[in-house]
Amino acid sequence: MPRPRTIDDDTLKTLEQRLEKVQRQLRQARAAQKDQTRRDDARRKIIAGALALEHFEKNPGSEFGTIMFRLIDEYARADDRRLFEFLPVREDPKATDTDEADKAA
């Protein structure tokens, strides 16, 4: 029958240090995996967007082009609209609200 191992304070300290090191490595590995997933998702969206824009430019009158134009026109934020030169220029609704408030005063 094996003898029970006696655990001294140094052994406990060493084990705790190893545990902390492994937990730190695990956190780093999870963070790296999360970062890679985010980079892959961004790259996928860039590629899909580039393909969609290229198809839209070559076939602006197609059903796809019409829908894509409507979606970008409807959902593009005001500060991002400048990135799509084919979108009509709209007045900034914030500026309009401010102007109306000034006129009412």
- In the chain (105 residues long), the average pLDDT of successive 10-residue segments reads 80 96 98 98 97 95 95 94 89 58 57
Q: How far is CA 102 from the centre of its chain?
A: 38
What is the model's pLDDT at position 36? 98
Query: What are the distances in angstroms from CA 59 to CA 68, 81, 87?
Result: 11, 21, 16
DSSP 8-state secondary structure symbol assigned to residue 78: G
What is the model's pLDDT at position 90? 79
DSSP 8-state secondary structure symbol assigned to residue 6: P
| Per-residue tokens: 103 | 């006129």
